[in-house]
A and B are shown apart, each in its own frame.
Chain A
Amino acid sequence: DTGVSQNPRHKITKRGQNVTFRCDPISEHNRLYWYRQTLGQGPEFLTYFQNEAQLEKSRLLSDRFSAERPKGSFSTLEIQRTEQGDSAMYLCASSPQTAGDQETQYFGPGTRLLVL
């Protein structure tokens, strides 16, 4: 059983460029979450999907951010016109929809973004 995987693991980009991250959840997990974590803080919720439907977006997610989960499996997170304040670790998590286990989320290794 493979866990949640994320690619790339590291990304360095120049301000103003677009970047895209990919997340592959644990197979058959219906829910997929994106979080952002900055140094010295816990992860903060960005958005989540149930199957292919994006059900909630945080106010942290400006209009430069977009996420998709087109077939209810993998997901992508795109940041357009990156800013230095976007530098952070972007974490993906998935959870099953099994009663009693829905609240437990399993995280990927993260994508560390550095915007120069």
Chain B
Amino acid sequence: TQLLEQSPQFLSIQEGENLTVYCNSSSVFSSLQWYRQEPGEGPVLLVTVVTGGEVKKLKRLTFQFGDARKDSSLHITAAQPGDTGLYLCAGAPSGSNDYKLSFGAGTTVTVRA
């Protein structure tokens, strides 16, 4: 059983549309990270959310951390083909002092031109 569940697993949309990816857990996290990974490459950090209820914006990407720090979402506005990739959420459970990350299985996003 994975600590972090991501949905949907796959998402294919047309350029210009919006999309939302969800990351849920029954555990409390001190922070969550979102990464984007392209085939054959390592994950690239997009954002770290730390405070319950926090909203962070990175250009067309909006990240939200749930009030209870158990879930997070990533919303992309007006998606572009360059947003195509595997989106991963990851975190270390609250109280952990080793900070090893548990990852979701990822959401594969395809943006068609």
Contacts and interface: CB of A to CB of B under 8 A. Distances in A.
Interface of A: 4, 6, 31, 33, 35, 40-45, 48, 55-56, 91, 93, 95, 100, 102-110, 112
Interface in B84-112: 88, 90-92, 98-106
Nearest to B43: A107
A33 B33 contact: no
A103 B33 contact: yes
Contacts of A109: 41-42
Interface residues of B, number: 27
B99 A45 contact: no
B105 A103 contact: no
B45 to A, nearest CB: 6
Given A42-B88, A45-B101, A109-B42, 11 more contacts: A4-B42, A31-B99, A33-B100, A42-B104, A43-B43, A45-B102, A48-B100, A91-B43, A103-B33, A104-B33, A107-B45
A93 to B, nearest CB: 8
B40 A42 contact: no
Interface of B: 2, 4, 30-31, 33, 35, 40-45, 48, 50, 88, 90-92, 98-106
Contacts of A102: 99
Contacts of A104: 31, 33, 45, 48
B31 A56 contact: no
Contacts of A108: 42
A29 B5 CA distance: 29
Given A48-B98, A56-B100, A41 B48 contact: no
Nearest to B33: A104
5 contacts: A42-B90, A103-B91, A105-B101, A107-B43, A107-B44
A56 B101 CA distance: 13
